[in-house]
């Protein structure tokens, strides 16, 4: 029985993780949950999974959560009340919870950084969905992993595909999960991208796109922020940096391929020119389950892939003029140090301003480019955690300023 903590339990990744736990009750149990604001759903999750600890990001909501739990009819109350906590310390406590074997990081954005570090420092293995944490703070997270021996298992579907393909390669057991070092035998990574909500729109029409357009993904059902990131293709840019930190390849050897069917989840090329791919229907439960069961394979009754039903798999190069975010991400990744943290924070702020309808879709890349340009002279190559947190704050403020001044 593996004990799981779910950070961001009420989100898309969190709820899918809990579905897996429900489906395999003799394999997994939940010991810790953390959530943002969705108290009704959180209460249901507590009733269903009986966690030992529950943390709320916003401490001021704790009395309301206690009220919800106390108002349940006696027969519906969890047999043992969980420890309730909140705020940044509460999230860290839940993330580092002693009885957990694996922490699934489903918090969105750099807000996941401190709880992720708390889990690593407590020696926990992680299923990493919260990519922003690694992108913003790779130079801080990687040495912490080395120190604690925690293993970072990729839950992002592309990185899970790469990780799955690597299982059969001359990949030394010791190098297997030490992130940031070149992976033996690996020559090139090809990350596949569905193309996002606007893949069939002309570049000229992008300026007219609305929040509703940008939050409707053709193939995957996900949280709002990552759905907008998919529409700008920044998600793929972020995944390039994520792949760099996870698998140790330089940026010359990490490529993006548009693959509208989302059946191939990514490919690797080995030094002998052999290309390996992982295929499946687009369903995040598979990469999450693989993190939870690795190195074993779970028997599932899930829908099996039938390529004759798919019919055709197609591929094309991404349009970097229509989607400038990819190049911004490559450039920030190559600059390294604090630059990816600036890229990530500027993106988070710009997406949030877009979702509040304060800026247009095309202002997202513009905001990020200005913030990265401004940061060039202040870039630090070997940042501390405090440096990362400072530039993250600075980049958000810088975008808010740009929006106020109307660029
Ligand atoms: P979501 O918006 O559906 O859920 C986010 C979760 O984080 C919620 O539980 C929310 O309450 C919590 N949260 C939000 N702000 C918080 C804060 N400031 N502090 C603490 N908790 C907070 O997002 P999602 O789609 O589940 O994505 C989560 C992460 O997984 C993101 O980093 C995303 O890039 C990554 N990811 C998601 C998918 C997917 O299919 N949804 C796929 C790949 C990677
Ligand atoms: Mg992905």
Per residue in 116-165, pLDDT tens?
999 999 999 999 999 999 999 999 999 999 999 999 999 999 999 999 99
How many CA within 13 A on the CB side of residue 358? Answer: 16
Tell me, what's the pLDDT at 178? 60
Closest CA to 48 of 12, 87, 20: 20
CA distance 105 to 119: 10
How many CA within 13 A on the CB side of residue 44? Answer: 9
Tell me, what's the pLDDT at 182? 73
Q: Where are the alpha helices (DSSP H) in 123-266?
A: 131-148, 157-166, 211-214, 224-232, 234-247
Which ligand 1 atom is nearest residue 9's CA? Answer: 9
- Going from the Cα of 112 to the center of ligand 1, the distance in angstroms, rounded, reads 9
Which ligand 1 atom is nearest residue 115's CA? Answer: 20
Residues with CB under 5 A from ligand 2 (ion): 156-158
How many CB atoms neighbour CB 384 within 10 A? Answer: 11
Cβ atoms 153, 246 nearer than 8 A: no
User: What's the start-to-end Cα distance of the chain, in Å?
Assistant: 54
Tell me, what's the pLDDT at 220? 81
Closest CA to 325 of 223, 245, 214: 214
Q: Mind giving me the DSSP string for 87-150?
A: HHHHHHHHHT-TT-SEEEE---SGGGHHHHHHHHHTT-EEEE--HHHHHHHHHHHHHHHHHH--
- Going from the Cα of 236 to the center of ligand 2, the distance in angstroms, rounded, reads 7
Is the predicted pLDDT of residue 174 greater than 80, yes or no? no
Tell me, what's the pLDDT at 172? 45
Per residue in 16-35, pLDDT tens?
999 999 999 999 999 999 99
**Section 337-354 average pLDDT:** 98
What's the token pair of residue 198? Answer: 């606007």
How many CA within 13 A on the CB side of residue 110? Answer: 24
Please give the residue that has the higher pLDDT: either 305 or 183.
305
Which residue in the block uniquely carries the two structure tokens 């759905």? 227
User: Which of 38, 86, 108 maximizes ligand 1 atoms within 8 Å of its Cβ, making it the mutation to test the pocket?
Assistant: 108
**Section 234-251 average pLDDT:** 96
SS3 59: helix
- Going from the Cα of 371 to the center of ligand 1, the distance in angstroms, rounded, reads 24
CA distance 25 to 53: 19
Q: Tell me, using a 6 A CB cutoff, whether residue 36 lines ligand 1.
A: yes
Q: Tell me, using a 6 A CB cutoff, whether residue 107 lines ligand 1.
A: yes
Tell me, what's the pLDDT at 180? 67
Q: Tell me, using a 6 A CB cutoff, whether residue 238 lines ligand 1.
A: no
β-partners of residue 119 are none
Neighbouring residues of 67: CB distance < 8 A, sequence distance ≥ 6: none
Cβ atoms 196, 217 nearer than 8 A: yes
CA distance 247 to 260: 25
Cβ atoms 394, 347 nearer than 8 A: no
Q: Give percent of the chain above pLDDT 70.
A: 97
Tell me, what's the pLDDT at 21? 98
**Section 199-206 average pLDDT:** 94
- Going from the Cα of 405 to the center of ligand 1, the distance in angstroms, rounded, reads 30
Neighbouring residues of 90: CB distance < 8 A, sequence distance ≥ 6: 34, 55, 56, 59
CA distance 31 to 70: 20
Which ligand 1 atom is nearest residue 91's CA? Answer: 20
- Going from the Cα of 86 to the center of ligand 2, the distance in angstroms, rounded, reads 29
Q: Strand 125-128's sheet: what is its strand order?
A: 83-86, 53-56, 28-35, 2-7, 102-105, 125-128, 152-154
DSSP code, position 378: G
Per residue in 75-104, pLDDT tens?
998 888 999 999 999 999 999 999 999 999
Tell me, what's the pLDDT at 3? 98
């Amino acid at each position: 029985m593996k004990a799981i903590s779910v950070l961001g339990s009420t989100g898309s990744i969190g709820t899918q993780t809990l579905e897996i736990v429900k489906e395999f009750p003799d394999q997994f149990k939940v010991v810790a949950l953390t959530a943002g604001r969705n108290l009704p759903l959180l209460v249901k999750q507590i009733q269903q999974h009986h966690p030992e600890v529950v943390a709320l990001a916003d401490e001021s909501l704790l009395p309301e959560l206690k009220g919800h739990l106390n108002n349940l009819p006696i027969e519906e109350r969890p047999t043992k009340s969980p420890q309730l906590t909140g705020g940044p310390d509460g999230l860290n406590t839940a993330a580092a919870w002693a009885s957990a074997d694996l922490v699934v990081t489903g918090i969105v954005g750099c807000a996941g950084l401190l709880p992720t570090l708390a889990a690593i420092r407590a020696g926990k293995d992680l299923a990493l969905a919260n990519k922003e944490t690694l992108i913003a703070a790779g130079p801080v997270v990687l040495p912490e992993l080395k120190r604690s021996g925690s293993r970072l298992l990729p839950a992002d579907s592309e990185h899970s595909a790469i990780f799955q393909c690597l299982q059969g390669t001359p990949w030394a057991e010791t190098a297997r999960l030490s992130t940031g070092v070149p992976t033996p035998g690996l020559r090139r990574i090809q990350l596949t991208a569905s193309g996002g909500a606007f893949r069939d729109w002309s570049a000229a029409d992008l300026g007219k796109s609305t929040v509703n357009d940008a939050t409707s993904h053709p193939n995957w059902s996900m949280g709002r922020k990552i759905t907008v990131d998919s529409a700008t293709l920044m998600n793929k840019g972020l995944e390039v940096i994520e792949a760099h930190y996870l698998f140790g390849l330089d940026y010359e050897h990490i490529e993006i391929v548009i693959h509208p069917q989302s059946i191939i989840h990514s490919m690797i090329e080995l030094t002998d020119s052999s290309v390996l791919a992982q295929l499946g229907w687009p369903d995040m439960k598979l990469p999450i389950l693989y993190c939870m069961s690795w190195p074993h394979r779970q028997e599932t009754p899930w829908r099996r892939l039938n390529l004759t039903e798919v019919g055709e798999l197609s591929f094309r190069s991404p349009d970097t003029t229509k989607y400038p975010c990819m190049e911004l991400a490559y450039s920030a990744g190559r600059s390294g140090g604090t630059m990816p943290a600036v890229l990530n924070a500027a993106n988070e702020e710009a997406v949030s301003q877009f979702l509040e309808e304060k800026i247009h879709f095309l202002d997202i890349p513009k905001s990020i480019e200005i913030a990265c340009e401004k940061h060039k002279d202040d870039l630090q190559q070997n940042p501390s955690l405090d440096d990362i947190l400072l530039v993250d704050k600075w980049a958000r403020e810088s975008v808010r300023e740009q929006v106020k001044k109307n660029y």
